[in-house]
Amino acid sequence: MDFQVVVLAGGVSKKLLPLVSKELPKALLPVANRPVLSYVVELLELSNLKDLIVVVEGEDAALNVGAWISGAYADRLHVEVAAVPEDVGTAGAIRAIARHLYAKDILVVSGDLVSDVPIGAVAATHRRHDAVVTALLCNAPISGPLESVSSGGKDKTKKPGRYDLIGLDPTKQFLLHIATGAEVEKDLRIQKSILRAVGQIEIRADLMDAHLYAFKRSVLLEVLEQKGAFNSLKHDVLPYLVRSQLKSEVLLNGIPQAEENGSEKVISQSNQQMLSQILANASEPTFHLRHTLNTNGSDSVRRTHKCCVYIAGSSKYCARLNSIQAYNDINRDVIGEASHLSGYSFSAHNNIIHPTAELGAKTTVGPHCMLGEGSQMGDKCSVKRSVIGRHCRIGANVKVVNSVVMNHVTIGDCCSIQGSVICSNVQLQERAILKDCQVGAGFVVTAGSECKGEVLAKKWN
Amino acid sequence: MDPPRRAPRTIIDPVPKFRQVGFFAPGAPPERSQSGPPDPTHSSPPIPNTSAASLSPVMIPPPRHLSDNLIIHARPSVASPRRAESINVGGSNCDAPVSPAPSSSYSSRFAVGGDRSFFDGKGNNVGKVVASSFPRGGFDLTAMKVNANVVVPASELTTVSVVNDSLGIPEKEKANKGGGSAGEVKDHPNSKQQKPKPTKAERRALQEAQRAAKAAAKGEGNKASGPTTSVNAKPAKAVKPAQKVDNTAVAASEKKGGDCPPEKDRKKDAPQPRMQYDDQSRVEKAKRRSVVKQTEARNRVELFRHLPQYEHGSQLPDLEAKFFDLYPVHPAVYKVGLQYLSGDISGGNDRCIAMLQAFQEAIKDYKVPPEKSLGRDLTAKISSYVSFLIECRPLSISMGNAIRFIKSQIAKLPLTLSESEAKTSLQSDIERFISEKIILANKVIVKHAVTKIRDGDVLLTYGSSLAVEMILLHAHELGKQFRVVIVDSRPKLRGQHLLRRLVEKGLNCTYTHINAVSYIMHEVTRVFLGAASVLSNGTVYSRVGTASVAMVAHASRVPVIVCCEAYKFHERVQLDSICSNELGDPDVISNVPGREDVKYLDGWANIENLQLLNLIYDAMPSDYVSMIVTDYGMVPPTSVPVIVREYGREQVWI
């Protein structure tokens, strides 16, 4: 269908710092014991998109990601990995691989997307409207753990302003305004020209930009070339395209136009005009069209382009792993509500316990839990709504609630872990109590220590 | 200058062709007093088989396949002088563009376009082919060529994972396995033709024979013949054309099946009846093939059960989700299909133009597969596109004519032409069809019809018709003083768009809804109507409501002038608007535009004794039509068969 897919896998994200490292870039961060990138790749595979370009920030990270992909998807997908320097931003990443893009439209997906939205639908919407850019919007996920007992206060501080403010036209097909929640301080500036043309703008704060865009390649590359300062697709390119949609500066389908003119030279120009007029009158005119036609009197024709949205249905799951909170949420959802995403089959107790995992006497693993391969648990442990990775050794009388424990973690007796993320190779000595903590890889938590809301990590060498 | 007002001709049909189409309770007896011919589909719903099999009085046999005839006796363009003549009647300066010297313009375009497209195609092809078959090396190679000077710090791609079997076919199989259930439907154009031809032809002949023999109980006939496991695509293919609304697809599959004249003859003798959607078994079969997920709508109106009606809500998202699974469908065609389905493009001319342009695009990108001839393979391709479009929305008659034109052009291509030449010639043919049959035709219609507008006239039009709009604008430009009454109707309210455009141009307009048409008709002096098609008995097939407007005009003795391009004429004969029609989305009429809060009919599908009917077209008997303005001049409706006969065949198209 003449689409190319670019997966922006990122590098070592600063936002996720104790969790990620050079060895474990963001793309490989395990979500329900599977790298987060695999969710995107499999979503694409489901849509029959098997040719991917994965862009990773940093050489080391690229090597790691490449190694993982070649191991996991050999024979199934045709994946190419490109390494770009760190901090070039999403726009820079596209610039760097621009010469490898040749298809008519480019699908840019963030590697941290966990979703089951049919990607074809986004592409189809893009094609149907002949849009310059189409963005996938989804309902903003519910943040925080399900039982709001523990972190009610924390939610309140984090939740508002986190998401995007999105302006839509009444038919909910076109994007008229976009601002990231963080940028909006007090007031919201909306262009008068757009408002005048459309007549009515619906501003929504309950939608989230899922960072999945379909771009028209010619336009995307042109914008990136002209605006060298643009750093991010989401913060620079998309708002720019939305802003300028009624006074388009991009050369819309420049190449096809030239071709058409060539082949239709024989036909008089008036016919051409009439044809376009017929097509223009074809159906419900969009505001773009009305805007273009309004200026028939003046000499210059206003050029417009369309920025479309595809709004995922409320039944679809869609989340981005872009913060530690989101990491917790996604882990919870993937083994909980959105369990079809995980790709595992759940047992009768609604949990996944690998057959090689060993449980001690009187140990209970509740529903919405996951226990990885070769993990051992001592007696009288209790696990609730948590993910435990591979080859973990957990002592007796340990409580794990709402937490993520990665691989090769050793947990001593009588520990209690709540709402925390424990990275690989961490050692928790006896009676450690962690609540809402993040423990970086290889850290040793001394016996009896009690932490709340802390970030525990090794000093960077 | 008044067009002659004729007394109603009783010869054709004395019975008024208007039926009350209302809400029928499932068991209620039909109103016999209203309807002329008995309607077996209605009167005997429990026995659906018979209705599908034998031709009932109501069912109109579909037209024969012209494209078949075309090959046999392709006459050289006799028509061109006559056409020029008829055009001269209307205006003097318009005949030049209508009849361009075909040979000269053709050849020049040919040379220019041919070179470029050949070059383009080649450039692209090389890149793509290499990239796909040798993913590792090919990618870098093309990339290196493309960028000589890139400012951005470019990064190299490292292929970390490669699909091992880089050939196309195994990949397809994998796609099927991997859950692309939809791909399965259309995946087999290649494999189909590799099977030995004679057996296929034989099988088809056998099928045809059985079908003809078992005319009475045909529903079961197809199942019995043909091994179902190995060729699950083929019986479907054989059945398909018969079921489609317009039988243009027949020509294609027939050509593909090989040339066996006896079979063709038989087909001509007993044309296939149209698909009747109240026939359970056939509907099931059609559904299995279809790309677009079609959920049968519930609560269908009894009288219209034989027409396809699906739940509209689920179709678009479903098709969209399958975007990447359907690679046999060309992206441009797919886009048009989506636009049909979503209603972005509606209206006869627009749909036709959009389809033709998509085909043009598809032909441009088309490459003849090895060991196949362009004529056959491209026809099959086009047929598959057409059936995809039909699933999105039933074809209009004008589109059927256009498809017939394309296919006849493909069939007519001389075998000596190279691939690129053939493609360019087809593209320019399509181009010419659009410009001559649609655009110039409209211009000529305007020239003719404008003479019928006098100062002080009050012109009434219904809905939004391109030709009528152009007539009104042109008359305004000529400085004629007149007033326009635009009659509109729910749910589309297309008249509002027309109104907006006319008012912008400074015309004096009145806007009203169809409910008030009898009131406003007293002040009207002329009625101008557009048409979706004009059938050979003079019946005008047009947007629903047109017939009532014409009837009121007729009763008030106001002349009705129908403006219709000749490419929309069809040789079919139709007496009512029941046996062949299109059903729109019933939800549209249950909604109130601009009032989202009014939801009295929400969940109507669950109310058993409620049915909604959203008819798209209706048929206007020729008695109401004073004159038809077409690109061949202004003719009475009785002359339509003449135009169809004289110009409707291959002469029209060149």
pLDDT number for residue B297:
65
Chain B: nearest CA to A237, how far in angstroms? Answer: 17
Nearest to B161 among A70, A118, A279 (CB): A70
Report which of A1, A2, A10 is spatially closest to residue A234, judged by C-alpha positions: A10
Over residues B16-41, mean pLDDT:
44
Give yes or no for a contact between B386 and B329, defined as CB atoms under 8 angstroms apart: no
Bridge-based pairing state of the strands A165-168 and A202-204: antiparallel
pLDDT band at B251 (very low <50, low <70, confident <90, very high): very low
Among A426-435, B93-102, B446-455, which stretch is predicted with the lowest mean pLDDT?
A: B93-102
Among A396-410, B85-99, B192-206, B341-355, which stretch is predicted with the lowest mean pLDDT?
A: B85-99
pLDDT number for residue B234:
41
Same domain, A76 and A184: yes
Give yes or no for a contact between B427 and B363, defined as CB atoms under 8 angstroms apart: yes
Name every chain A residue with its beta carbon within 8 A of the beta carbon of B426: none
Sequence-distant (6+) residues with CB within 8 A of B371 are: none
- Give, as one character, the DSSP assignment of residue A341: G
Give yes or no for a contact between B275 and B244, defined as CB atoms under 8 angstroms apart: yes
Q: Per-residue pLDDT for A314 more than 50?
A: yes
For chain B, say whether A85 makes contact (Cβ under 8 Å).
Answer: yes
What is the C-alpha separation between B241 and B249, in angstroms, rounded?
Answer: 5
Neighbours of B69 (CB within 10 A): 16
Among A42-56, A61-75, B443-457, B600-614, which stretch is predicted with the lowest mean pLDDT?
A: B600-614
- Amino acid (one-letter) located at B288: R
Task: Let me know if residue A382 belongs to a domain.
Answer: yes
> Which of B161, B187, B334, B428 would you mutate first to test chain A, the one with the most A CBs within 10 A?
B161
Same domain, A264 and A177: no
pLDDT number for residue B634:
92
Give yes or no for a contact between B503 and B495, defined as CB atoms under 8 angstroms apart: no
Kindly state the percentage of chain B with pLDDT values over 70.
54
pLDDT band at A215 (very low <50, low <70, confident <90, very high): very high
pLDDT number for residue B528:
95
Task: Let me know if residue A300 belongs to a domain.
Answer: no
Token reading at B599: 């939801």
Instruction: Tell me the whole-structure pTM to 2 decimals.
Output: 0.69
pLDDT band at B342 (very low <50, low <70, confident <90, very high): confident
More confident residue, A24 or B87: A24
For chain B, say whether A401 makes contact (Cβ under 8 Å).
Answer: no
Token reading at B106: 């053709």
Helix (H) / strand (E) element for A59: namely helix A59-73
pLDDT number for residue B509:
94
Q: Which residues of B74-89 are buried (b: 16+ CB within 10 A; e: fewer)?
A: eeeeebeeebeebbee
pLDDT band at B532 (very low <50, low <70, confident <90, very high): very high
Same domain, A15 and A148: yes
Q: What is the 3 state secondary structure string of B423-464?
A: HHHHHHHHHHHHHHHHHHHHHHHHHHHHCCCCCCEEEEEECC
Q: Do A79 and B160 touch (CB under 8 A)?
A: yes
For chain B, say whether A217 makes contact (Cβ under 8 Å).
Answer: no
Q: Which of residues 110-169 of A touch B (CB under 8 A)?
A: 118-121, 123-125, 127-130
What is the C-alpha separation between A134 and A112, in angstroms, rounded?
Answer: 19
Task: Let me know if residue A338 belongs to a domain.
Answer: no
Name every chain B residue with its beta carbon within 8 A of the beta carbon of A27: none
What is the C-alpha separation between A181 and A164, in angstroms, rounded?
Answer: 5
> Which of B93, B155, B334, B445 would you mutate first to test chain A, the one with the most A CBs within 10 A?
B155
Among B203-217, B379-393, B615-629, which stretch is predicted with the lowest mean pLDDT?
A: B203-217
Q: Per-residue pLDDT for A299 more than 80?
A: no
Helix (H) / strand (E) element for A208: namely strand A207-216
Same domain, A239 and A100: yes
Instruction: State yes or no: ipTM above 0.85.
Output: no
Name every chain A residue with its beta carbon within 8 A of the beta carbon of B118: none
Give how many domains chain A has, as a whole number: 3
Chain A: nearest CA to B132, how far in angstroms? Answer: 9
pLDDT number for residue B266:
45
Same domain, A24 and A169: yes
* Overall size of chain A counted in residues: 461
Same domain, A21 and A49: yes
Sequence-distant (6+) residues with CB within 8 A of A239 are: A178, A179
Residues of chain B with CATH 3.40.50.10470: 452-581+616-651
Among A248-257, A282-291, B574-583, which stretch is predicted with the lowest mean pLDDT?
A: A248-257
pLDDT number for residue A211:
87
Residues of chain B with CATH 1.20.120.420: 280-437
Task: Let me know if residue A36 belongs to a domain.
Answer: yes
Name every chain A residue with its beta carbon within 8 A of the beta carbon of B428: 263
* Overall size of chain B counted in residues: 654
Find which of B213-217, B549-553, B586-590 is predicted with most confidence, using mean pLDDT: B549-553
More confident residue, B74 or A447: A447
Report which of B563, B426, B151, B434 is spatially closest to residue A226, judged by C-alpha positions: B151
Q: Which residues pair with B529 in a beta bridge?
A: B562
Q: What is the pLDDT of residues A133-186, one digit of tens each?
A: 999 988 876 655 443 333 333 443 444 445 678 888 888 888 888 887 666 666
Same domain, A219 and A266: no
Over residues B158-173, mean pLDDT:
51
Over residues A248-256, mean pLDDT:
52
Q: Per-residue pLDDT for B41 more than 70?
A: no
What is the C-alpha separation between A52 and A66, in angstroms, rounded?
Answer: 12
Q: Do A283 and B139 touch (CB under 8 A)?
A: no
Q: What is the pLDDT of residues A337-374, one digit of tens each?
A: 777 777 777 777 778 888 888 888 888 888 888 888 88
Is domain B280-437 in CATH 1.20.120.420, yes or no? yes
The number of angstroms, rounded, from the C-alpha of A372 to the middle of its chain's C-alpha atoms is 25
pLDDT number for residue A262:
37
What is the C-alpha separation between B207 and B239, in angstroms, rounded?
Answer: 10
Please give the residue of chain B at the shortest CA–CA distance from A95: B152
Residue B307 backbone dihedrals phi, psi, to 5 degrees: -100, 150
pLDDT number for residue B534:
92
Over residues B477-487, mean pLDDT:
94
More confident residue, B652 or B430: B430
- Give, as one character, the DSSP assignment of residue B310: B
Q: Per-residue pLDDT for B71 more than 50?
A: no
CA dihedral A148, A152, A156, A159 (to 10 degrees): -30
Report which of A452, A442, A385 is spatially closest to residue A19, judged by C-alpha positions: A442
Same domain, A375 and A425: yes
Same domain, A274 and A393: no
pLDDT band at B545 (very low <50, low <70, confident <90, very high): very high
Alpha-carbon torsion (B318, B321, B326, B331), positive or negative: positive
Task: Count contacts between A and B (CB, < 8 Å).
Answer: 196
> Which of A2, A128, A216, A221 would you mutate first to test chain B, the one with the most B CBs within 10 A?
A128
Task: Let me know if residue A340 belongs to a domain.
Answer: no
Find which of B175-184, B290-299, B638-647 is predicted with most confidence, using mean pLDDT: B638-647
Residue A211 backbone dihedrals phi, psi, to 5 degrees: 60, 40
- Amino acid (one-letter) located at B368: V
Q: Per-residue pLDDT for B262 more than 70?
A: no
Q: Per-residue pLDDT for B136 more than 80?
A: no
Chain B: nearest CA to A438, how far in angstroms? Answer: 32
- Give, as one character, the DSSP assignment of residue A455: E
Report which of B4, B90, B84 is spatially closest to residue B633, judged by C-alpha positions: B90
Token reading at A193: 């020209």
Q: Per-residue pLDDT for B493 more than 50?
A: yes
Would you list the DSSP string of B630-647?
Answer: ETTEEE-GGGHHHHHHHH
Same domain, A379 and A316: no
Looking at CATH, the fold of the domain delimited by B452-581+616-651 is given as Rossmann fold (3.40.50)
Task: Let me know if residue A298 belongs to a domain.
Answer: no
Please give the residue of chain B at the shortest CA–CA distance from A96: B154
Domain range for residue A233? 3-252+306-331
Q: Which residues of B566-583 are buried (b: 16+ CB within 10 A; e: fewer)?
A: bbbbbbbebbbbbbbbbb
Token reading at A202: 């619906």
CATH number at residue A353: 2.160.10.10
pLDDT number for residue B275:
67
Same domain, A267 and A314: no
Alpha-carbon torsion (B300, B304, B308, B313), positive or negative: negative
Q: What is the pLDDT of residues A32-66, one digit of tens each?
A: 888 899 999 888 888 888 888 999 988 888 888 88
